[in-house]
Amino acid sequence: MTAIAAERYTGASIKRSEDPRILTGRGRYVDDIKLPGMLHAAFVRSPLAHARVLSVDASAARALPGVVAVLTGADLDAMTDPALDPLLAMFGGAGPMPEFTLLATDKVRLVGDPVAIVVAESRYLAEDGCELVEVEYEDLPPVMSAAFALDPSSPPLFANLGDNIARPRSRNEFGDVAGTFARADRVMDFHIDVHRHQNVPMEGRACIASYDADLGLMTVYAATQSVHLTRNGVSTRLGMDPDKVRVLAGDIGGSFGLKIGASREEQAVAAASRHVGRPVKWVEDRGENLTVSGQAREESFDIRAAISNDGDLLGLDVQMVIDTGAYPGMGTMVPSIVEGMLPGPYKLAALGFESTAAITNKATYVAYRGPWASETFIRERILDLIAKDLGLDPVEIRLRNVAPRTDPPALMITGRPLVGVTTKESLDRVTELVDYPAFRRRQAQAREQGRYLGIGVATFIEAAPGPRQGPDAGLGMEAMRLRLEEDGIVALFTGQMPHGQSHQTTLAQIAADEFGVPFEQVRVVVGDSAVVPFGLTGGSRSATMTGGVALHGARQLKAKVLDFAAHLMEASAQDLLITDGNVWVRGDPASAIAVTEIAARAASGEFGADVDAELEVQATYDGGEGGWSGGTHCAIVEVDVETGLVKVERYVAAEDCGALINPAVVEGQIRGGIAQGIGAVLLERSAYAEDGNFQSATFMDYLMPTTCDVPRIEIEHLETVPLDADVNFRGVGEGGMIVAPPTIVNAIEDALSPFGVRIYEQHLPPARILELIAAAGE
Amino acid sequence: MKLPLFDYEAPETVSETVELLAEYGDEASVLAGGQSLIPLLALRLARPAVLIDINGVAELSGVSATDGWTAIGAVTREYMAEESERVADAVPLLAAALPLIGHEAIRSRGTIGGSLAHADPAAELPAVARALDAAFVVRGPSGERVIPAAEWFEGYLTTSRRPDELLVEVRFPAAGRGTGVSFQEVARRHGDFAIVGLAASLTLSDGAISDARLALAGVAEVPVRAGAAEELLVGERPSAELFDEAARRATEDVDPPDDLHGSSDYRKKVAAAIVRRGLREAADHARERQ
Amino acid sequence: MVDITLRVNGATRTASPEVRKTLADFLRDDLNLTGTHVGCEHGVCGACTVIVDGRAVRSCLMLAIQAAGRDVTTIEGLAPDGGMGPLQQAMWDSHSFQCGFCTPGFVMQATAFLADHPDAGEQQIREALSGNICRCTGYQSIVDGVLLAAERDRER
């Protein structure tokens, strides 16, 4: 007798099931979809940052052959309901709600603000039509900085608010702030700015809305991180029952937080489709994507640090101002997350945190991969600055301040338990991998030759999904429907909406292992709001939440299938196994029946009510013990002090993201995030002129990192502390982007330390590097 | 970002083209490689009534040599010039600059004439043409005329080509023995336009500089010959001090633009750095070619 | 409108595209070859890269009518019947891509490059692909896919 071996997919870099279509041009992105009678939309957009709209004359546009409809802000207002941004609706906004119409009616509030939608036979004609819409504006003074926005003299963008404050100043204290500062050996002050930059997925926002007047049904083909949130956004705006709106999503060309809910443009497209009674497609072009889709990270911090002479970071008192742009959205929630995460994996004993959010004539602040990332940036930046001031090594100061791993775990002063955090291990490992002492020797030699090399480290933790707060506190609830289909396929219906995360592969790996079928016999079904449970791909939660529900759900489905198979095989369910796609009686391989046959029998209808042949389960998972992801990154850079150009020579990451489902997928996520971090520091900036004009509206001005800007990135996976019997997968989606910017900036400052340079900002293009060197010399 | 409406003509000969240009004048844009023009059309920044596509004018393509000059047809693709042995031998400065133009896919379509007629002061070829005193051959209704590089570049994206004239050929003088070249470029990323660039050519004779040509890209609305630096260099023997002084002279009077990629001050500083680097490299190259 | 005849993926096609239509839009809309993607429409991102007469070009920077008489290959035409050629296979094995939007441009650019430079090393490959933007991967997995394809080709 030979035992039938089970295959182990989890933990292996299984080739992606997405790739055969992706690599051959057979992916289906929104713009690839054509519907009969489909029209195309383009938007008339404001050339001014802040202006009253005096009149909109669409008559010439409507008369253009090929233009089917032009709907102004007023037209759309009359045919839609007011609606909140879906993320705000879900989590609750933190501040007064500004009142504004779907498209601009009385006012425009940023360059590119949509004023009307033109629907035509082709996008070419729609753009021609846009040029014929005449809009009269009365220019208003633009509010182009948070500082001015907070000044009561700045002209309010929203009449109902009366000022430009999206979130009034509020302060929280954790621990004994006053006492900690009073007792500290020294107090240091810093002001640090993070610049505006943005998601820039390679596919912009896009949707097709198709209204069937006969059935009263709206179908939306969307590029989205959640079909249900898009459905909610469209149905609310259109005053439709959500059950009458179906959102379908196929392949999505990246998002990084941008494509959540339904944007104003997408809502307008849906309204337009209902109005004209034909499908309407809108595909944002790169100019639109850069100018209006959303931007992020523009935050400034006044930081006071209480320090001991030996380098203990005892307390922080921080004031944060976030520039949420016009039409404030989730940006108002970011300060709370920054506050909660700021202590990081360190022993910080006291934190005072004050924040306010300003409204300006810029693109809306949207979620961008690790929206709270500035907390890691400022913390890791000031650790280096403090280290320099005290003559300590940057690694040394971190080791000194890291909270030791204890049982019960230490609590962050803001409340979260630092359970299973391997920060110290990651610091040790990274310095080993780069041979830190050897680098310092090489650096010294290079300086003698007039070459400036630098090394930087930064450490982080990411709530992916984060620890359980207490025995009764869950991490949310993830649902999944699992079904053994008639043809023997194990189908997983999930609300996850992958846009690069490879869920169709990773979730299948887990389910295949747990259920006992080959990888090819599992199908992950996504992207249909009528068919999948509620879900959102975001927040680096899917590895735990969805991986967990796939694992437990597959077990539950297997139990159900075995109960059914027991009838067929006249055996007890406890004696049955499923391996390699076959059900068999333990110890009797000859008894094996293919899962496909079991499935066919269940679907045959031959069984009565006493046999449960409905081979489907609705599983839920609350995240189990959850846990942190985190690690330490290290970069070696060379700065050309004549040109200011920076080369990242080497980049090493020591990471702990729990158990890996698919190492290649994990590493791809990490490297992609790091590339965005390198881009943020060296290349990317969403720049506005003082008059409100947007200056980075093409890829010639918004510079993306290329193959020559991102080095090979070495990744070492640390042995994790398992917290759960089964589910120790943790998320990794955002970490790279969170920790790479301080890693790079720390390295640049280290390279320039012979000049006495100190860096209090994140964007360091060549000209700025030369300015910093010159300023330090004065 | 869809292109606006325009009429389209696809002449097959130079005379046909000239006739069309005479008819439409500045209502027409000439389409060669399209790598500069089509983005402008897509952004709707260019609004010609007529596009005259000269890609079908076969006589405008090719590299030939005449009397110590290398003549390149205006519609010669950049990649063909890059692969041309004749160009590599006779015009090493052009050969050095070509691989820095954008990326391979751009050079598959972009043309020598197109880039020079577009006249972006931050582009590579205008600096090369200016450094070498290239000759621009245009043909109009009244015949052909030859415009020296010093007179070709008039302003930002503006040349002295009249609206009814077609650039048919650009002629580059052949580099002799003892002439070394260097093309330096400081760009934000590989393949980008220069923030500042330098096209340099030095000829050494008995160890002394007998000819010096320096043209800067990105420091003004046109490529700029660093005449004062060139004067200093001629007759002298290469040295670090000489090159430092040349760099100072080359940049002291320039007033470069400010933009997102660099302040005026930054461009000036970096221009000086690349003059030093470029002169060193050109001198080394000149010694190899003795 | 101008009548044109051209070869696309080995088949002769005739059409009458609008004069201002780009080759990228023509391929996608008129010929239903949606594998070629549009990422910027101003020639920087490379997602629209196709091969024309053996050279990689940005199809957003060509008018459709300029392709008259030319031989165009898109990603759909690299391997018969939607299968995968050796480069695509190597990229599959290397986990080269994530969201896939930049993929066709990279595959076509790398195909053209490897045809002319079969022995290219990593630095050369990176320079050759520096005009294609990917937002997801950080490029290492893409470069590894190209290196693997080149290595396997040498072994054949």
pLDDT digits (tens, 9 = 90+) for A418-457: 999 999 999 999 999 999 999 999 999 999 999 999 999 9
Average pLDDT, chain A: 95
Q: Are C134 and C94 in contact (CB under 8 A)?
A: no
Q: By three-state DSSP, how is residue B271 classified?
A: helix
Which residues in chain A are contacts of C99 at CB distance < 8 A? 201-203, 251-254, 499-500
Which residues in chain A are contacts of C47 at CB distance < 8 A? 202
CATH of the domain spanning B58-173: 3.30.465.10
Tens of pLDDT along B85-136?
Answer: 999 999 999 999 999 999 999 999 999 999 999 999 999 999 999 999 999 9
Mean pLDDT of A645-656: 98
Give dist(CA B222, CA B257) in Å, integer. 11
**What is the share, in percent, of chain A residues with pLDDT greater than 70?**
99
Nearest in space to A462 (alpha carbons), one of A672, A234, A632, A209: A632
Q: Give the count of Cβ contacts less than 8 A between chain B and C.
A: 82
| CA geometry: angle A593, A596, A600, nearest 5 deg | 105
- Is B273 close to A643, i.e. CB distance below 8 A? yes
Q: Are C46 and B105 in contact (CB under 8 A)?
A: yes
CATH 3.30.465.10 domain position(s) in chain B: 58-173
Q: Tokens 């497609």 label which residue?
A: A281
Given this model, what pLDDT does residue A3 score?
Answer: 36
Q: How would you class A686 by CB atoms within 10 Å of its CB: exposed for 0-12, middle for 13-18, buried for 19 or more?
A: buried
Give dist(CA C4, CA C64) in Å, integer. 9
Q: Residue C1 above 90 pLDDT?
A: no
Tens of pLDDT along A506-530?
Answer: 999 999 999 999 999 999 999 999 9
Given this model, what pLDDT does residue C80 score?
Answer: 86
Q: Is A699 on the interface with B (CB under 8 A)?
A: no
List residues bridging with A713 in a β-sheet.
Answer: A651
Q: Is B186 on the interface with A (CB under 8 A)?
A: yes
Give dist(CA C81, CA C100) in Å, integer. 20
Mean pLDDT of B16-26: 97
Q: How would you class A177 by CB atoms within 10 Å of its CB: exposed for 0-12, middle for 13-18, buried for 19 or more?
A: buried
- Is B106 close to C43, i.e. CB distance below 8 A? yes
Strand ranges, E, within chain C: 4-8, 11-15, 49-52, 55-58, 71-73
Which residues in chain C are contacts of A735 at CB distance < 8 A? none
Say what the ipTM of the complex is: 0.98
Which residues in chain A are contacts of B1 at CB distance < 8 A? 127, 285-287
- Is A31 close to C83, i.e. CB distance below 8 A? no
Q: Which residue of C has its CA nearest to B77?
A: C55
Question: A9 vs A14, A15, A511, A660, B35, CA distance in Å?
Answer: 7, 10, 9, 11, 48
Given this model, what pLDDT does residue A1 score?
Answer: 32
Dihedral sign computed on CA atoms, order A675, A546, C95, C42 = negative
Q: Is B189 on the interface with A (CB under 8 A)?
A: yes
* Domains of chain C from N-terminus onward: 4-77 (3.10.20.30), 80-155 (1.10.150.120)
Residue C23 sits at φ, ψ, to 5 deg, of -60, -40
Helix (H) or strand (E) holding C88: helix C86-93
Preceding amide of A155 cis, omega within 30: no
Residue A678 sits at φ, ψ, to 5 deg, of -60, -45
Q: Is B144 on the interface with C (CB under 8 A)?
A: no
Give dist(CA A357, CA A94) in Å, integer. 10
Which residues in chain A are contacts of B191 at CB distance < 8 A? 706
Query: Residue A537's Cα: distance from chain center in Å?
Result: 8
Tens of pLDDT along B231-263?
Answer: 999 999 999 999 999 999 999 999 999 999 999
* Domains of chain A from N-terminus onward: 19-25+476-621 (3.30.365.10), 33-140+199-291 (3.90.1170.50), 299-471+624-777 (3.30.365.10)
Which amino acid belongs to residue A565? Answer: A
Show which subunits contact A, needing at least 3 CB pairs below 8 angstroms: B, C
Q: Which residue of B has its CA nearest to C67?
A: B55
- Is C41 close to B1, i.e. CB distance below 8 A? yes
CATH architecture designation of domain B179-288: 2-Layer Sandwich (3.30)
Give dist(CA A331, CA A318) in Å, integer. 18
Dihedral sign computed on CA atoms, order B283, B284, B285, B288 = positive
Tens of pLDDT along A580-638?
Answer: 999 999 999 999 999 999 999 999 989 888 899 999 999 999 999 999 999 999 999 99
| Residues 70-89 (B) with a CB less than 8 A from some CB of C | 79
CATH 3.30.390.50 domain position(s) in chain B: 179-288
Query: Residue B50's Cα: distance from chain center in Å?
Result: 26
Q: What is the 3-state secondary structure (H, E, C) of A22-49?
A: HCCCCCCCHHHCCCCCCEEEEEEECCCC
Show which subunits contact B, needing at least 3 CB pairs below 8 angstroms: A, C
Nearest by CB: B43 against C21, C42, C113 = C42
Report pTM.
0.97
Nearest by CB: C88 against A23, A251, A667 = A23
Cβ neighbors of B260 (< 8 A, separation 6 or more) are: A685, A687, A695, A696, A701
Q: Which of A67, A121, A643, A695 to mutate to test the interface with B (most CBs of B within 10 A)?
A: A643
Given this model, what pLDDT does residue B85 score?
Answer: 97
pLDDT bin (cut points 50, 70, 90) of residue A4 is very low
Given this model, what pLDDT does residue A93 score?
Answer: 66
Provide the token pair at A310. Answer: 């030996």
Which residues in chain B are contacts of A689 at CB distance < 8 A? none
Given this model, what pLDDT does residue A97 score?
Answer: 84
Exposure string over A708-731, b if 16+ CB within 10 A, otherwise e: bbbbebbbebbebbebbeebbbbb
Q: Residue A205 above 50 pLDDT?
A: yes
Which amino acid belongs to residue A493? Answer: F
Q: Which residue of B has its CA nearest to C106?
A: B105
Which residues in chain A are contacts of C130 at CB distance < 8 A? 706-708
Record: fold of B7-53: 3.30.43
- Is C135 close to A672, i.e. CB distance below 8 A? yes
Q: How would you class A534 by CB atoms within 10 Å of its CB: exposed for 0-12, middle for 13-18, buried for 19 or more?
A: middle
Question: C148 vs A23, C83, C145, CA distance in Å?
Answer: 15, 18, 5
Q: Give the count of Cβ contacts less than 8 A between chain A and C.
A: 171
**What is the share, in percent, of chain A residues with pLDDT greater than 90?**
93
Dihedral sign computed on CA atoms, order A756, A760, A765, A771 = negative
Q: By three-state DSSP, how is residue B115 classified?
A: helix
Q: Residue A95 above 80 pLDDT?
A: no
Give dist(CA C116, CA A201) in Å, integer. 31
| CA geometry: angle B142, B143, B144, nearest 5 deg | 140
Give dist(CA C25, CA A575) in Å, integer. 60
Nearest by CB: C19 against B8, B109, B190 = B8
Which residues in chain A are contacts of C40 at CB distance < 8 A? 286, 698-699
Strand ranges, E, within A258-347: 280-283, 299-307, 313-323
CATH 3.30.43.10 domain position(s) in chain B: 7-53
Given this model, what pLDDT does residue A5 score?
Answer: 42
- Is B5 close to A128, i.e. CB distance below 8 A? yes
Q: Residue A94 above 70 pLDDT?
A: no
Q: Is C113 on the interface with B (CB under 8 A)?
A: yes
Q: Closest approach of chain B CAs to the CA of A701, in angstroms? A: 7
Q: Which residue of C has its CA nearest to A701?
A: C44
